[in-house]
Amino acid sequence: MSQDQNTAETAGQTPEDENRLIAERRGKLNSLRELGEAYPNGFRVNTTAGALQKRFADDDAEALEGVDESFAVAGRMMAKRVMGKLAFVRLQDRDGDIQLMVQRDQLPEGVFAAFKTWDVGDIIGGSGAITRTNKGELSVRLSELHLLSKSLRPLPEKWHGLTDTEQRYRQRYVDLIVNDDSREVFRKRSQIITFIRQFMEAPGREFLEVETPMMHPIPGGAAARPFVTHHNALDLEMYLRVAPELYLKRLIVGGLGRVYEINRNFRNEGISTRHNPEFTMLEFYWAFANYNDLMDLTEEMLRGLALTVTGETVVHYQGVDLDFGQPFARLSVEQAVRDHNPDLADADLWNVDVLRGICAERSIHTEQSWGAGRLLMEVFDATVEDKLVAPVFITQFPTEVSPLSRRNDDNPEVTDRFELYIAGREIANGFSELNDPEDQAERFRNQVSARDAGDQEAMYFDDDYIRALEYGMPPTAGEGIGIDRLVMLLTDSASIRDVLLFPYMRPEHS
């Protein structure tokens, strides 16, 4: 919509076609330049809006008269109401809002006249005494006021704010200026990640935060198509990581015992309300633990998170109540498929022909090379996944689709693996790790065969990972938790784009 303006400005042209509102503000900026420094950086604050609101919440006007302090605040002017020689300003800073009381006769000569030319959106700073107006609004009564940074572009309308989703995502800075809800989502996101770090490192758990490579010579650790890039000096194809798993387990071989990483993964797949090409995962590995320990820890973490972020253990998501206070159900893949497909007999669950028939009925794409395990998961995805609303651990995934997981002691066709589903979405994936190097090598070979047969999501053979396992990896359990989807749940956000500061968008200019 404003493409012409943007191209004109980036090209450094005279903005002849720039809209009048911007042209007027640019004229004011030119006047400021003539008067001296238009972008001063000398003003210093000694408090914030939020701190003032908190400190003086219970003080009336009389009590405030006894406060013999000068408060310096700075931020964006969000509203400006001028009444002759008096004006009120709503100042927004990093942690809240505070009203400024601007009186001509309390300010140095000429300041009030200049102030009258300033615009909503400008960054200003001022200082003065704290007071409460006749209507009871806590205010800083200014004895000093400066324009710190001129805003050339008008803000969205004050009452409706910015609702256009495209502009909210493309110009997140505008969204953050005008939409309190948006700011709140990203504060909570930060709170969630802080909580997780503290939880993982708390006494008794003592996981060590580590950083492993984002660029891999061999992509591994997940069934996903990678982004490819190129290292010039080495003349080498590199892949943005789809998962940190194989590196983190090398650290377990190295004896670090308990490690975690919170960082981005990249998957070259479709984009939707639940998928962004880059997304954030918590991934952790725990020596001398198994997948049951992981499920217990996950429950405890999510319960604590809900309580910390929302203040209660029941999470309200898109009109549904999700109880994080109760133990989560645990249910095998087989059981879950049977529950949602009552026509199926037990024997059918591992019958390739029956499963293929079900897929055909539902026009689910299958490959001739797929075994019962893969087909069973296709049926699970189609008939079960989106019905798993209350938190539930789905366990015992087929070995065929779990090339890095330890086989179950009683049934080698399934693994000691689980996925946590909440609100019909996969939130976490964890398992007892496969630490038998010979079994792992065999699984890699099967993956390579699948890749050769055309499965672009199949894994590569990672020689060094096998070499690491051959040194001996302790019995270990490991898990990945999708942070973005977790933030969606805890902030009641319908789209992953609402919890990413800068979600992926097509480039603006063609």
Query: Nearer to RNA by C-beta: 22 or 72?
Result: 22
Go through 75-98 and write b for each residue having 16 or more CB atoms within 10 A of its CB, e for each that does not. bbbbebeeeeeebbbbbbbeebbb
Contact residues toward RNA (CB under 7 A) are 1-2, 4, 17, 19-21, 24, 79-86, 88, 99, 101, 103-105, 117, 119-120, 133-137, 139, 153-154, 156-167, 169, 270, 272-273, 363-365, 382, 386, 494-495, 497, 503, 505-506, 510
HEC secondary structure over 403-446: CCECECCCCCCEECEEEEEECCEEEEEEEEECCCHHHHHHHHHH
Query: Nearer to RNA by C-beta: 354 or 364?
Result: 364
Residues 244, 283: contact at Cβ < 8 Å? yes
- 306-to-191, 299, 300, 491 alpha-carbon distances in Å: 11, 11, 10, 10
Residue 495, amino acid: S
Residues 49, 91: contact at Cβ < 8 Å? yes
What is the distance between the alpha carbons of residues 254 and 287, in angstroms, rounded to a whole number? 11
Query: Nearer to RNA by C-beta: 348 or 498?
Result: 498
Query: Nearer to RNA by C-beta: 118 or 431?
Result: 118
Query: Nearer to RNA by C-beta: 293 or 455?
Result: 455
State in angstroms the smallest separation of the CB of 126 from RNA.
15
State in angstroms the smallest separation of the CB of 21 from RNA.
5
> Residue 336's CB: how many other CB atoms inside 10 A?
22
What is the distance between the alpha carbons of residues 136 and 139, in angstroms, rounded to a whole number? 9
What is the distance between the alpha carbons of residues 356 and 338, in angstroms, rounded to a whole number? 16
Query: Nearer to RNA by C-beta: 45 or 86?
Result: 86
Query: Nearer to RNA by C-beta: 300 or 386?
Result: 386
State in angstroms the smallest separation of the CB of 322 from RNA.
17
Query: Nearer to RNA by C-beta: 136 or 472?
Result: 136
Please give the backbone phi and psi of residue 258, each rounded to the nearest 5 degrees, phi first: -140, 110
State in angstroms the smallest separation of the CB of 157 from RNA.
3
Query: Nearer to RNA by C-beta: 69 or 105?
Result: 105
State in angstroms the smallest separation of the CB of 471 from RNA.
42
Residues 159, 92: contact at Cβ < 8 Å? no
Secondary element (H or E) of residue 488: helix 483-491
What is the distance between the alpha carbons of residues 495 and 93, in angstroms, rounded to a whole number? 27
For 411, the token pair is 């049934």
State in angstroms the smallest separation of the CB of 353 from RNA.
20
Residue 138, amino acid: L
State in angstroms the smallest separation of the CB of 363 from RNA.
6
What is the distance between the alpha carbons of residues 305 and 199, in angstroms, rounded to a whole number? 9
Query: Nearer to RNA by C-beta: 214 or 382?
Result: 382
Instruction: Name, in order, each residue with C-beta under 8 angstroms of 307's C-beta and a sequence gap of 6 or more.
Output: 313
Query: Nearer to RNA by C-beta: 478 or 503?
Result: 503
- 43-to-108, 276, 310 alpha-carbon distances in Å: 16, 40, 37
State in angstroms the smallest separation of the CB of 198 from RNA.
32
State in angstroms the smallest separation of the CB of 364 from RNA.
6
State in angstroms the smallest separation of the CB of 340 from RNA.
14
Residue 247, amino acid: Y
> Residue 165's CB: how many other CB atoms inside 10 A?
12
State in angstroms the smallest separation of the CB of 151 from RNA.
11
Closest-CA residue to 425 (of 398, 389, 397): 389
State in angstroms the smallest separation of the CB of 355 from RNA.
16
Query: Nearer to RNA by C-beta: 282 or 499?
Result: 499
What is the distance between the alpha carbons of residues 242 and 277, in angstroms, rounded to a whole number? 10
Cα–Cα–Cα angle for 308, 484, 295, nearest 5°? 65
What is the distance between the alpha carbons of residues 82 and 110, in angstroms, rounded to a whole number? 16
State in angstroms the smallest separation of the CB of 236 from RNA.
30
Query: Nearer to RNA by C-beta: 135 or 230?
Result: 135
Residues 388, 424: contact at Cβ < 8 Å? yes
